Chains A and B, each alone.
Chain A
Amino acid sequence: MSAGEFWNEFSKSKTGLVGLALMLVFVLLGAFGGLLVPFPDAARHWRDIDYWQDEPLAAPPVWTNAFAARKGAPSSILTRFRTEKETRDDGVAIETFVFAYSFTYDRPPRDLVVRVPGSGRVPMAIWLERPDGLSAELYRDQVDLSGGGENRVSVTRDCARAAIEFVRSRDEALADTMNADLIKPVEILFAKPGSGIPGAPAPLKGIYEIRIRALVVSPDFSLGRPTVIVSGQVSGIMGTDASKRDVFTGIVLGIRWALMIGILSSAVTVVAGVLLGIVAAYFGGALDWLLTRLYELVYFLPVLPFLIVISAIFKPSIWVLIAIICAFFWTGSFKTVYGMTLQIKEESFVEASRALGSGPWRIVLRHIAPMLLPYSFASMALSVPAIIVYEASVSLIGLGDATIVSWGQILESALTQGAVINGLWWWVLPPGLMIALMGMSFAFLGTALDKILHPKLRTR
């Protein structure tokens, strides 16, 4: 069948086209997805706590706001600011960076993080100006950035006392009841005056300003562009997990691994199974006996205990897992190809070729193998889902490769860090759904291929 004919047939199959479309989406996302995610180098930093520290912990996805009675402030990064420069009477220059934050939600963010890069020693102060005109001093310190670096101020972490002081300025008694370790500073700072504190105070909506004031004192001092990170109640397309990682990024990164593991393993296992099957069935004799015994051994050997032992000896690495998959999963195609070859061997045209004087290799390569190609492609497509699930299962029981970002790994951390117990559905569902989706797309593809390419040995 030529390429043109094949495409004609294939385009008639709806499931095939759906499978192909999905697979293309996966491949594109796998290749270029890194550019689309909010955290481009997340792959390297997946297990780096510092990388994710500004994200909210276990925050639901942004779109859940549509279903929430009280909408939470989403995470965002404020990068635009205006600079006010003034010079004090004593000649000291003061730079103030002003960030505007528009808050129109029902629940204030979890945290506000101010990052100011620079070098040298610089006195810095941070103020919060509320829409109602009240302002709170959040932070005041001599920051030592000698040698370069960044000053990071987290309101939740560092400004509890400042928040209490802000309350004290209006209600001394209330301030006395507050314990710096137990309050939520951002909530207090964003609360409407007069609303019940503590508890869930109704927030004041409007435009807030975060003013970062730095005194340019020493000449060897320089300040880079500051940023303010709003760590929201809701974050990202798929929320964040218990380690503050953006789930969507993890999912997209997982595509690469799923594709790689799935396609590589299925290609190797199918090719191995097909080759061994043909050789065993066609040549027969001792070779057949040997390969069939090998097949039986591998078929009946339980993979899991084997895997556990191997993982104990070598550290669990994805390449070890792929090697094991390749070593065990070739049995399916071996058996089928064995049977098919036995049948093709008896065909009249094979006999005719032998009568002409064909040697065995010519028959295998020119007559038998081409008839098995269609099955091989379909088989490859169809084994990908199983392999992906296999990797996920292995990861789930803790034997996976913890250094990669695979869907199995995401699921594993979800389960071990209590996602189910804590109702963090946005963490558990996506990897499972993706496994199912990718499995489905390969299954559709494989089924369509199988239907079209299934060898028609007779066409009358």
Chain B
Amino acid sequence: MSVFSPPEPADIILEVRDLRKEFIARRGRARVRAVDGVSFALRRGEILGLVGESGSGKTTIGKLIMRLVEPSSGSIEVAGFEPGPRGGGADIAYRRRVQMIFQDPYASMNPHFRIKDVLEEPLLIHHIGKTREERLAMVARVMEKVKMTPVADFLDRHPHMLSGGQRQRIATARALILRPSVIVADEPVSMIDLSTRAEILHLLKTIQEEMELSFIYITHDISTARYFADRIAVMYLGRIVEIGGRDEVIDHPFHPYTRALIAAVCEPEAGRAGTLRELQVRGEIPSASDIPSGCRFRTRCMYAAEECSALPEPGLEDIGGGHSHACRRWKEIGATRA
């Protein structure tokens, strides 16, 4: 079985089943279905890229997995067990297993804290390390892992004294210090300079291999997902519309939304300035409080037909090789794997 096929049960570190999250908007009238039935499994040592535009629900999934937000329904299991109620033993154990790297390297750290405080916090919360020295030793070790050396130089600094890339390294260190199994990285490089982005991604990849970590890599930039992830799941309006190995999904997209997304990506190549880019969507993203019936992409899909609104929403169809998508009409459209 190819490395990109769905994982074997023994391999699975994180499993999400029919996860849903509904928000009641302030006015009380609108029910926003941010995540509307998402299921996937993450294998040990695997990087899953969650790609989508704003409103796709990818960030909400990250928060659900991190238990910053409670699901409306559905389940999340890490290493086979579900986190219990907040504050309970199971919840604490869960948090040691799953950690997060946030998008904004400036905002995700308390500006009054020193770096050593930032990194010591998780240890203090989980009562790891009995003495200050013990904890500082662990802090130094994890800083070496993210190449923030010499350690002594950085320990007493405040976050605003570091560059964006350096802060994101510290954020990574903070996520690693508890030795989790799963890391949710929410747009970890989108607010960092281009020339440093690859450095951070490279670091994350190295750490991932060394520590056999599993990653959920949330991004709107499908190009970095190609570079970083093993598998890619494309999300639209709260659901996964296509999932598969990264090369598969990008080189042979089946779902019209994936194809539209790929067609819209700009590349650094010459000769584009005079030509309009052919876009394969119509209109705007519908509001998440008013999701179209049937296939939710049909209002923008170039290939939408009668059946797309008449029939219920298609689920993910497995077309082999670990590649699934949610388009009923793929054969008519002519999407192939060739």
Contact = CB atoms under 8 A, between A and B. Distances in A.
| Touch test A–B (CB under 8 Å) | yes
Interface of A: 347-349, 351-359, 362, 366-367, 370-371, 456-460
Contacts of B91: 357
Nearest to A352: B108
Nearest to B164: A460
Given A354-B68, A355-B95, A357-B95, A459 B111 contact: yes
B68 A356 contact: no
B92 interface: yes
Interface stretch (B99-107, B224-232, B282-290, B296-304): B99-107
A interface, over-half SS: helix
B179 to A, nearest CB: 13
Given A356-B125, A458-B111, A351 B95 contact: no
B160 interface: yes
Given A355-B100, A357-B92, A357-B95, A349 B125 contact: no
B83 to A, nearest CB: 11
Interface in B169-186: 171, 174, 178
B111 A357 contact: no
Nearest to A373: B112
Interface string B78-111: 0000000001000110011001101110111111
A370 to B, nearest CB: 6
Contacts of B66: 355
A375 to B, nearest CB: 14
Given A357-B95, A458-B107, A348 B102 contact: yes
B100 A352 contact: yes
A370 B110 CA distance: 10
Contacts of A457: 111
Given A359-B87, A362-B125, A459-B160, A351 B102 contact: yes
Given A356-B125, A371-B112, 12 more contacts: A348-B104, A348-B108, A352-B100, A353-B121, A354-B68, A356-B121, A356-B122, A356-B178, A357-B91, A357-B92, A359-B87, A457-B111
Interface in B102-144: 102-104, 106-112, 121-122, 125-126
Nearest to B184: A355
A358 B91 CA distance: 11
22 contacts: A347-B107, A349-B111, A351-B102, A352-B102, A353-B110, A353-B121, A355-B100, A356-B99, A356-B125, A356-B174, A356-B178, A357-B92, A357-B96, A357-B122, A357-B125, A358-B125, A359-B125, A362-B125, A366-B121, A370-B112, A458-B107, A460-B106
Interface residues of B, number: 28
A372 to B, nearest CB: 11
Contacts of B103: 348
A458 B106 contact: yes
Contacts of B95: 355-357
B281 to A, nearest CB: 32
B38 to A, nearest CB: 20
A352 B92 contact: no
Contact of A357 (B102, B126, B171, B174): B126
A367 B107 CA distance: 13
Query: Which 9 residue pairs across A and B have the least CB separation, nearest first?
Result: A348-B107, A357-B95, A459-B160, A348-B108, A349-B110, A356-B122, A355-B100, A352-B108, A355-B66
Contacts of B122: 356-357
Interface string B39-70: 00000000000000000000000000011100
B171 to A, nearest CB: 8
Contacts of A353: 110, 121
B109 A352 contact: yes
A347 B104 CA distance: 11
Given A352-B100, A355-B66, A357-B92, A367 B110 contact: yes
Given A357-B122, A358-B125, A456 B111 contact: yes
Nearest to B96: A357
A61 to B, nearest CB: 52
Contacts of A459: 111, 160
A357 B126 CA distance: 8
A354 B96 CA distance: 12
Contact of B68 (A351, A367, A458, A460): A351
Given A355-B66, A355-B99, A356-B122, A460 B104 contact: no
Contacts of A362: 125
B103 to A, nearest CB: 8
Contacts of B92: 357
Contacts of B111: 349, 456-459
Contacts of B112: 370-371
A355 B99 CA distance: 7
A348 B126 CA distance: 20
B113 to A, nearest CB: 8
Contacts of B67: 355
A223 to B, nearest CB: 73
A337 B66 CA distance: 29
A49 to B, nearest CB: 59
A352 to B, nearest CB: 5
A229 B121 CA distance: 73
A417 to B, nearest CB: 55
A362 B96 CA distance: 17
Contacts of A349: 107-111
A347 B92 CA distance: 22
A148 to B, nearest CB: 69
Point out which of B91, B109, B112, B125 has the most chain A C-beta atoms below 10 A from its C-beta. B112
B333 to A, nearest CB: 41
A167 B102 CA distance: 102
Contacts of B99: 355-356
Point out which of B106, B126, B171 has the most chain A C-beta atoms below 10 A from its C-beta. B106
B14 to A, nearest CB: 15
Contacts of A456: 111
A353 B110 CA distance: 9
Nearest to B122: A356
A355 B122 CA distance: 10
A143 to B, nearest CB: 76
A391 to B, nearest CB: 36
A340 to B, nearest CB: 14
Nearest to B101: A352
B312 to A, nearest CB: 36
Contacts of B106: 458, 460
Contacts of A347: 107
A457 B100 CA distance: 21
